[in-house]
Each structure stands twice: as C-alpha cells, then as structure tokens.
Homo-oligomer: A and B are copies of this chain.
C-alpha cells in the first residue's frame, strides 16, 4: 500500500466540510442527532446485505464502496471523498445495504440513525430533496459504471477511462496532469473488473507508449488526448 498520506492539509476546523451544501439550519439539526467518530484504515462501516442502521457521512478521509460476487471476487464501485453520504438509498428504501463501505485511510465519519434521518427528512423539505438528489447521483454514476464496464470491453479501454476520470477530478489542482496513485494494482483491477496481472501489464504498456510516466506513487499523463484515443477504439 502506497497510501497513508495522512492529511496534514486541513486543521482549520475540527471538521472541514460542514454538512455539504445543506442550509445551516438543517445542518445544525443534523449535527444535534448525529455522532461523529474517527475510524482507522480498513474499518467496515457497513457490509453488503446488512439491514440498514443509518447513513454515514464522510467528513474527512476516503471510503471504498464495493460489492462482491458469489465467487468471492470484488468490484469497487467507487471511492468516496469527504462530503458524501453513504448508505442513503438503503436507509430510505429500508432494503439492505447494496454495497460494503470500508475506510481507505483514517477517516472521520458522522453517523445518523435511520429513524432520525427519516424524521428530519419529514421536518425539513430541503433535507429530503438533498437526499433524493444524492441518490439520483449515485444511480447515474452506477449506470455509467455499468456502461463502461460491460460495453467496452477491452481492459485497456477501461483502464484508460479510469485514468482519464482521475484526471478530471484534478482539474483545479496545481498540476492537472498529475495523479496520486492511491490504489494498488489489485484494487485498480477491482475497479475495472480485471486481474491484478492485467493491470500491471497494461500500465507497463502505457509507459512504453509514453502515455503515462510514473515516479513513486505519482502518475503523470503528458498527453491526455492520446490516452482518450484508446477509449473510442
């Protein structure tokens, strides 16, 4: 694991992002009922198939959302950053959690019980709307995931798409063509539905074609367009 860049960037407030884009009144109401806890790396917030207990809101850190098949193989749905709620759909619908949530670094996470969330949703229309928006967003991103993973389907295309996607999250950073590689090859494989070895080989190939350069855990993508040209292929 090349991770553990333990955040030293934010020490202004105890918790940097307040409750996301929620109006202060609602945020306060949430804060009243909620419980914020620190978790170490590898903590499982909830597991696929469990009955919903409540929602978890990532305040600091990163959480891996994954599902696993009958044969034991794992697919990572997405990596969730601070500001995002987890398990909302399950809590609202009362069905079991659709995926497993596991911290990828030491994280601070706010928990809100199912009953409290539902009550507050009834009280605050904005909260209900916020919840609904987030679920739709998750739905949309899952649909994209399906399309990308099933209709591709060369592994190199999927990997290229993943890398380009990472670039897109970095547009505001100082070096927008750099990406911190916070995942093992195995995990990358679990994101694109292929094996560790294939990822290794593909990355090597990309380097040989000068599509990427790697120094330590930093990836540089000099020519984004070249990488994108693999995708339509």
Contacts and interface: CB of A to CB of B under 8 A. Distances in A.
Interface of A: 67-71, 73-75, 77, 88-90, 92-93, 95, 98-99, 122, 125, 128-129, 131-133, 135-140, 142-147, 149-152, 193, 231-232
Nearest to A71: B151
Contacts of A193: 150-151
B73 A136 contact: no
A103 to B, nearest CB: 20
Contact of A135 (B132, B145, B149): B132
B146 A95 contact: no
Contacts of A131: 132
A146 B73 CA distance: 13
Given A139-B142, A142-B146, A151-B193, 9 more contacts: A69-B151, A75-B150, A88-B136, A89-B139, A92-B132, A93-B133, A98-B139, A128-B132, A145-B146
A132 B140 CA distance: 14
Contact of A122 (B73, B95, B125, B232): B125
Contacts of A144: 98
Residue of A90, A99, A147, A149 with most chain B CB atoms under a 10 A cut-off: A147
A164 to B, nearest CB: 13
6 contacts: A67-B147, A68-B147, A70-B231, A93-B136, A131-B132, A132-B135
